Amino acid sequence: MTRRSAAELSPDDIEFDHTAESGQSFENALEKARDGDRLTVDDAVELLSTGTEQRGIDPHRKEQVLELADRRRAEIVGEDVTFVANLNNNVTTACNVGCLFCNFKNTAHQFEADHDGNHGGFTKTPAESRQIVDETLDLGISEVCSVSGLHPAFALDAEHHEILAGYDNPASEVNYKLPERYTTDPGTYTDQMRAMSVDDVHLHSITPEEAYHARRGTDWSYERVYSRLREAGLDTAPGTAAEILVDEVRDVVCPGKITSADWIEAMEGAMAAGLGTTATIMYGHVETEMHRAMHLKRVRDLQDRTGGIAEFVPLSFVHQNTPLYKHGVVDGGASDAEDELMIAVSRLFLDNIDNIQSSWVKYGNAKGLKLLNCGANDFMGTILSEEITKRAGGSYGEFRSVADYVDMVSAIGRTPVERSTDYQTKRPIEIDGGPYGPTLGPRADGTPMLSTEKSTDTQLSADD
Ligand code: SF4
């Protein structure tokens, strides 16, 4: 399929080779899940759809799948609900990739020094990133998570800048423009890693898409790129930008992004470089249950080969304000029942990944908690942001305190547990009336991160 904008795309144009059909029955698939047999793609399609022979989701069958998944969760990881005390420090919103499900980016030319008008986005220098991390470490975080747009002036390092600048037409050939063209220079990827790696805080950054950007125009392997980043301070890589790992879906929702094969190659490169990873799925847009099932299989195969994926994160498509929705290509996102089944089937299918995340950013508090009874065991992180730390004492839509976690998790009868990014260190929190704060960060001492008003449900829209 040629690259098209959402305005040019009509739902009638979307025709897939992979449709939600299977040679399996729902009953057989459920029986296999109950027996703990390894599930096939056809099994997963049956469970995700509660049977392909009928239309819509059958509520009774759905409950059977959710119950099995909840039981499997209890067998594998018990009653703990984990979370990480973390900061989101995204470096730039400048991006030219144009994914049709994204409302995070701002077209990169708007960041050029001679551009008139206010784009509302941001780019941070390495010094600014360092200052934000340094200040937030005092609040007790143990992880910095950083995912950014693909700024044309971003390069891996000085050598990469030289290679990119050597192209005849770097803007069109390798999506590169000199940093001097922009109001703010983001520095290099290695500069940013060094800047954010303060006091050995765990740095979780560089998605496969960013790694592709950090090697564009070269013949460097992903392993080499990730090794350089690791030397600069990177600890683990987020497996976002996965969307749906079937190219006929990517051709519709993110035609400018790397292919499924590239995503997998980048993940293998990260793990070959000694980095742990995570994996995601972004579902609920144009894909079918078959695509979701094929995606799960690709992630499970990758984990069979590498063993380096610590958690799987289902991300429900947040449709408001996205080109796909505004231009009528989709009329909404996944239903609650689809969200529940996605979490449940992820638990049942991914027999080699222990941790399944329920993301409060995507689902909100109420549904996020419900999903912890559908197979999920992790409830994401505190997600402090620069804006929040600057406005300490205000009202924080995009933040969950340790006390919030204690309240919410104990309300469903489970144990709140602060964890490290890689799940290797876990601290069950004793419910003793508080106050509650993080203890795993380099400067954490159990003091509450911020004394705040209650945070509220908020949904963010970018998947990466
Ligand atoms: S999803 Fe990521 S790569 Fe795609 S447009 Fe948004 S910021 Fe750019």
Dihedrals φ, ψ of 20, to 5°? -80, 75
The residue contributing the CA closest to ligand 1 atom 3 is 97
C-beta 94 within 6 A of ligand 1: no
CA of 257 to the centre of ligand 1 (A): 8
Q: What is the pLDDT of residues 163-183, one digit of tens each?
A: 999 999 999 999 999 999 999
- The domain locations on the chain are 6-103+123-163+186-428
Residue 462 has pLDDT above 70, yes or no: no
CA distance 410 to 417: 11
Cα separation, 45 vs 128, in Å, equals 47
pLDDT at 448: 94
Among the listed residues 90, 54, 4, the one whose alpha carbon sits nearest the alpha carbon of residue 324? 4
As given in the structure block, the two tokens for residue 436 are: 């509650």
Instruction: Indicate if the pLDDT at residue 9 is higher than 80.
Output: no
Distance CA 19, CA 311 (A): 28
Residues 75-109 pLDDT 10s: 999 999 999 999 999 999 999 999 999 887 779 99
**Ligand 1 lined by 374 (C-beta under 6 Å):** no
Rounded to an integer, the average pLDDT of 416-429 is: 98
Q: Confirm or reject: Cβ of 97 under 6 Å from ligand 1.
A: yes
Compute CA distances 61 → 29, 46, 342, 358, 367, whole Å: 11, 10, 14, 22, 20
Mean of all residue pLDDT scores within the chain: 92
From ligand 1's centre to the CA of 95, what distance in Å? Answer: 6
For residue 147 and ligand 1, the question of a CB distance below 6 A is answered with no
Flag the least confident range among 3-12, 219-228, 376-385.
3-12
Residue with the bigger pLDDT between 355 and 463: it is 355
What tens digit of pLDDT does each residue of 270-288 get? 999 999 999 999 999 999 9
pLDDT at 7: 63
pLDDT band at residue 244 using 50, 70 and 90 as cut-offs: very high
Residue 203, pLDDT > 70, answer yes
The response to whether residue 409 sits with its C-beta less than 6 Å from ligand 1 reads no
> How many Å lie between the centroid of ligand 1 and the Cα of residue 110?
16
Q: Report whether pLDDT(363) > 80.
A: yes
Check pLDDT > 50 for residue 24.
yes
**Which residues, 6 or more positions from 335, have their beta carbon under 8 angstroms from its beta carbon?**
57
pLDDT of residue 454: 42
Residues ≥6 apart with Cβ < 8 Å to 79: 413, 414, 415
The pLDDT value given to residue 450: 77
Please determine, for residue 190, whether its predicted confidence score (pLDDT) is greater than 70.
yes
Q: How far apart are CA 333 and CA 313, in angstroms?
A: 17
Residue 45 confidence (pLDDT) above 80: yes
> 432-460, pLDDT tens digit by residue?
999 999 999 999 999 998 764 444 433 33
Residue to mutate (ligand 1; options 92, 110, 150, 460; most atoms within 8 A of CB)? 150
Q: Which residue's alpha carbon is nearest to atom 4 within ligand 1?
A: 99
pLDDT band at 150 (very low <50, low <70, confident <90, very high): very high
Q: Is 209 in the pocket of ligand 1 (CB under 6 A)?
A: yes
Q: Mean pLDDT throughout 50-70?
A: 97
Q: Is the pLDDT of residue 20 over 80?
A: yes
What CA–CA distance (Å, rounded) separates 197 from 200?
Answer: 6
Atom of ligand 1 nearest to the CA of 102: 6
| Of residues 88, 96, 184, 94, the one with CA closest to residue 144 | 88
If you measure from the C-alpha of residue 102 to the centroid of ligand 1, how many angstroms do you get, rounded to a whole number? 6
User: Which residue has tokens 């056809």?
Assistant: 42
Percent over 70 (pLDDT), the chain: 93
Residues 6+ apart with CB under 8 A from 353: 279, 299, 300, 303, 309, 310, 311, 312
Question: pLDDT value at position 119?
Answer: 85
Paired tokens of 413 = 């009868």
pLDDT (average), residues 133-148: 96
Say if residue 346's pLDDT is above 90.
yes
The per-residue pLDDT for 386 is: 58
Q: Is the pLDDT of residue 339 over 70?
A: yes
Question: What is the arithmetic mean of pLDDT over 205-209?
Answer: 98
- HSE value, Cβ hemisphere, 13 Å, CA-based, for 197: 18
Cβ 42 vs Cβ 321: under 8 Å: no
What is the average per-residue pLDDT within 404-422?
97
Question: Could you read off the pLDDT of 285-321 as tens digits, one per residue?
Answer: 999 999 999 999 999 999 999 999 999 999 999 988 8
Q: Which of 5, 96, 104 to mutate to test the pocket of ligand 1 (most atoms within 8 A of CB)?
A: 104
Q: Residues 94, 391: contact at Cβ < 8 Å?
A: no
Please give the CATH superfamily to which domain 6-103+123-163+186-428 belongs. Aldolase class I (3.20.20.70)
